[in-house]
Structure 1
Amino acid sequence: MTSQPRDTPQFYLTAPSPCPYLPGKEERKVFTHLVGKRAVELNEILTQGGFRRSQTIAYRPACETCRACVSVRIPVGEFEPSRNMRRVQKANADLVGTVVPNRPSSDQYGLFRRYLDARHGDGGMVDMTVLDYAMMVEDSHVETRIVEYRRRGPDTAINGRGRGDLIAVCLSDVLADGLSMVYSFYDPTMADRSLGTFMILDHIEKARAMRLPYLYLGYWVDGSRKMAYKSRFLPQERLMGQGWARVEE
């Protein structure tokens, strides 16, 4: 059983381990627990300070010789999609994202497994069981939801829901100043749709509709091809030593 946290959160440092983004580098993380009555407040403060949430843990890189991981957020009121992004929106105009409670389903896990096996077969998440997936989705003490993407149906204009096979999923947190995309995955046979980009664009629109100023994307890693796509969403803000700094190109 998880005990109630102290009034002052306790922070811990992980041992060095191989960096998943930059070959030959080691990573360390500083982390704390997000449980109890102060979980929401603490998560808000830490997210604005560059932390990310994973279940009931908030963490951020604390590498001794590397500062390549940089927190990124999009000021949604100023964002305008590029020509290529508009093509992505058009290609996925037949999809609709439905917000559902953060509860796991067999459809979600089946898609999650296909995505991992096809895109991240050598990654640290590849051995996740259905129980592990359920914990990733449900184990949260903050406002968390799932967006399920399916094709539009004849009743979508009325009920706002899609129908048919599950095509993509995003686990997101709702913060006081924005949405935070915790983890997303999609049908690996539909790579030509650029579904990762589409889900970001859709979350920008969802944040606008909720009158939230930011969409938090996690870490952009300078020198990592895996994370290069995040730099295309401009303007954006990156958390530097002196605070959030605007980047326009």
Structure 2
Amino acid sequence: MTSHPRDAPQFYLTAPSPCPYLEGREERKVFTHIVGRRAREINEVLTQGGFRRSQTIAYRPACESCRACISVRVLADEFVPSGNMRRVTRLNRDLVGTTIPNQPTSEQYGLFRRYLAARHHEGGMVDMTVLDYAMMVEDSHVETRIVEYRRRGPDTAIHGRGQGPLVALCLTDELSDGLSMVYSFFDPELAARSLGSYLILDHIARARAKGLPFLYLGYWVEGSRKMDYKARYRPQQRLLSTGWARME
């Protein structure tokens, strides 16, 4: 009888479902659980192999007739922002990002609900309760942190933290070779700040400051307008059938 150690990942395949990125197509995912004493090690290997993490699940597309979803990671040390990206950084120079433990708060959930209502009111996350949100944030067996963004205040220079209402948040995994942006959201009333772009730019800077070579952005989906933005952050590497390939 064949046995498997409890820490060895077992992989499963989902049933087909409508693709959220390309109209008229179906998606399937291969997934496994990231738990146990080897969770961090397994998560690193899988992330480097194109998987994404959601709570204690690691998954990647396994569609039968489509290969449009491509894992992307930015080369943090070589990244040079465009003129528009520098403008976004200037627009948000009054914000401070503070790294805290991955513990949910009612303020976070309130901002999360406003973000979903404005940006993703027809998405699969719109029905998430406060308990669902807490699980998304807390349920991790790897090195996960929250970066909260608030405006600079009179005491920021002393304690290094922003003050006032929460403006944006990113749930971030810390890997040995980079940072992985698991999920982020922001105040939808501050659209002029381009906060989605700013969070990526700030995380590239954070990876560089930590001496980490990569920022993992998840999947770029060719043909999907809402995923086009990931192609702007170059140089980057994309995971092809032959391995990670550099794109200038």
> Scaled by the length of structure 2, what TM-score is found?
0.97
Identity of aligned residues (%): 76
Unpaired segments ≥5 residues, structure 1: none
4+ aligned runs moved over 2 Å, structure 1: 4-8
Q: Mapping of 1:131-146 within 5 angstroms?
A: 131-146=131-146
Q: Matched residues in 1 for 2:57 and 2:129: separation? A: 19
Which position in structure 2 is the counterpart of 1:63?
A: 63
Which position in structure 1 is the counterpart of 2:46?
A: 46
Q: Mapping of 1:86-235 within 5 angstroms?
A: 86-235=86-235
Whether the aligned pair in 1 keeps the contact of 2:7 and 2:37 (CA below 8 Å) is: no
Whether the aligned pair in 2 keeps the contact of 1:168 and 1:187 (CA below 8 Å) is: yes
Whether the aligned pair in 1 keeps the contact of 2:7 and 2:35 (CA below 8 Å) is: no
Whether the aligned pair in 1 keeps the contact of 2:7 and 2:36 (CA below 8 Å) is: no
**One-letter amino acid of the structure 2 residue matched with residue 146 of structure 1:** I
Residue 158 of structure 1: how far off its partner (Å): 2.1
Q: Matched residues in 2 for 1:51 and 1:6: separation? A: 21
Whether the aligned pair in 2 keeps the contact of 1:149 and 1:166 (CA below 8 Å) is: yes
Q: Matched residues in 2 for 1:9 and 1:147: separation? A: 29
Q: Matched residues in 2 for 1:208 and 1:231: separation? A: 19
What's the Cα RMSD here?
1.0
Residues 7 and 35 of structure 1: CA distance in aligned 2, closer, same or farther (over 3 Å): closer
Q: Matched residues in 1 for 2:5 and 2:93: separation? A: 45
Residue 154 of structure 1: how far off its partner (Å): 1.5
Whether the aligned pair in 2 keeps the contact of 1:5 and 1:35 (CA below 8 Å) is: no
Q: Matched residues in 1 for 2:63 and 2:189: separation? A: 36
Secondary structure of the residue aligned to 2:15 is: coil
Q: Matched residues in 2 for 1:182 and 1:204: separation? A: 14
Q: Matched residues in 2 for 1:231 and 1:125: separation? A: 25
Question: What are the superposed Cα offsets for residues 42-74 of structure 1, whole Å, 9 maximum, x if unpaired?
Answer: 000000000000000000000000000000001
Residue 156 of structure 1: how far off its partner (Å): 1.4
Secondary structure of the residue aligned to 1:107 is: helix
Unpaired segments ≥5 residues, structure 2: none
Secondary structure of the residue aligned to 2:126 is: coil
Question: What are the superposed Cα offsets for residues 60-102 of structure 1, whole Å, 9 maximum, x if unpaired?
Answer: 0000000000000011000010000000000000001000100
Count of equivalent residues = 245
